A = this chain, B = another copy of it.
Amino acid sequence: MKLPKFEPSKAVLFGETSDIYLARTIDILRREGLNPVATMQVFPSRAGILCGIEEVKALLAKVLPEDNREVWALAEGKTMAAKEVVLRITAPYQSYGLYETAIDGILSHCSGWATAAKECVEAAKGIPLISFGVRGVHPSVVGVMDYSAVVGGCDGCSSIIGAKLAGIEPSGTIPHAMIIVMGDTVKATVAFDKYMPPEVPRISLVDTFKDEAEESLRVAEALGEKLNSVRLDTPSERGRVTADLVKEVRARMDLAGFKHVKIFVSGGIAPERITYFLESGAPVDGFGVGRYISGAKPIDFTADLHEVDGKPIAKRGRIPGITPNPRLKRVM
């Protein structure tokens, strides 16, 4: 994927999203005339996929003095070990101390999403995955969430803003709401086919009103060769999608001559559900992953000072001085 260009918001640059004590610290140091060159190291509490570092770099590029800075980092999308230093900043402390909150926050949230996506990707062993979880997060982070899912390995995402950030086309099927408004699955699918440009794949949703197998056959008969896939999304009230249901729909579609129609599964998809479908031999052609990714727990990141004015120092519990990490590249 091509990396996007991030632009820090004014709220971040002005420190409004920072902890108040950092703003006070900068204020006091300024009045005391203290602005030593200091080295801050950032590391995660657990292993995962690093994400957000591009956005952090965009922020640092705006605030660090060009002639007195040195920044080392791992690249976006790399795996990282627990407690591994992924970012090291050396610069006058007043230039960046205020942004400790934002740096930690960007990395925590984005790496949490990317790592969850990677777990699904590893379980799926090559079967395509689409991020479908934007309804699980606040709209203000929809873009970075879907972007992080793609960094973590998803093949697509459903939000317009996330797809734009990741440099891909957004993916979608037909929502239950449209079928309910139109009153019939076949009717809705035919309308979709009528108005959508040809490059949009025809993927029908087949569990709204009728038995999934019956409805699959109905939409396949209506669209014929044009039907790309059916999506199974049986709600938990009806026992969720089972591996046997996928097999049955596949068999009935094949018997009726619709071997070209793919089966796409959504609803509570998570690594163990993916593994269950795969180990049961269910012929799934794609998964839609929702809240497993979007509701993933952020990964804690910590930022610590390890050198001040060239001298090793650290708070109790940390080792003073720079922690060597040959995987880091100088980025600034």
Q: Is A208 part of the binding interface, using a Cβ–Cβ cutoff of 8 Å?
A: yes
Q: Is A47 an interface residue (CB 8 A)?
A: no
Q: How far is the CA of A101 from the CA of B24 in the complex (A)?
A: 38
Check A209 against B316 for contact (C-beta < 8 Å).
yes
Neighbour of A291 across the interface among B93, B178, B183, B298, CB < 8 A: B298
Q: Is the CB of A316 within 8 A of B211?
A: yes
Secondary structure at chain A's binding surface: helix, strand, loop or mixed? helix
Q: Do the beta carbons of B320 and A207 come within 8 Å of each other?
A: no
Total count of chain A residues near the partner, CB < 8 A:
116
**Docked complex Cα distance between A239 and B251 (Å):** 18
Instruction: Compute how far the CA of A109 lies from the CA of B176 in the bound complex, rounded to whole angstroms.
Output: 23
Whether A128 is near chain B, meaning CB under 8 Å from some CB there, is no
Q: How far is the CA of A19 from the CA of B142 in the complex (A)?
A: 10
A312 surroundings in chain B (CB, below 8 A): 255
Given A138-B109, A180-B313, A321-B255, do A240 and B237 touch, yes or no (CB 8 Å)? no
Nearest Cβ in chain B — how far from A130, in angstroms? 11
Stretch at the interface among A29-37, A68-76, A118-126, A324-332: A29-37
Q: Mark A168-188, 1 if CB is under 8 A from B, else 0.
A: 001111111111111100000
Is A58 located at the chain interface by the 8 A CB criterion?
no
Nearest-CB distance from A140 to chain B (Å)?
Answer: 4
Pick the residue among B34, B141, B194, B210 that contacts A210 (CB under 8 A). B210
Chain B residue, CB-CB nearest to A247: B319
Report which of B20, B31, B32 forms a contact with A159, defined as CB distance below 8 A. B20
Residue among A32, A179, A321 with most chain B CB within 10 A: A32
Contact of A19 among B109, B159, B207, B236 (CB under 8 A): B159
Q: Which of B16, B21, B160 contacts A161 (CB 8 A)?
A: B16
A226 on the B face (CB < 8 A)? no
Check: A234 CB closer than 8 A to any chain B CB: yes
Binding site for B on A (CB under 8 A): 9, 11-12, 15-25, 27-29, 31-32, 34, 36, 38, 40, 52, 93, 97, 100-102, 104-106, 108-110, 112, 132, 134-144, 158-161, 163-164, 170-183, 191-192, 194-196, 200, 207-211, 213-214, 234-240, 242, 244-245, 247-248, 251-252, 255, 291, 294-295, 297-298, 300-301, 304-305, 308, 312-321
11 examples of A-B residue contacts, CB within 8 angstroms: A12-B139, A29-B178, A38-B180, A108-B136, A109-B138, A137-B298, A138-B144, A141-B141, A237-B244, A248-B318, A248-B319
A-B interface, 7 closest residue pairs, ranked by CB to CB distance from nearest? A239-B239, A21-B172, A237-B244, A235-B317, A237-B317, A104-B135, A20-B170
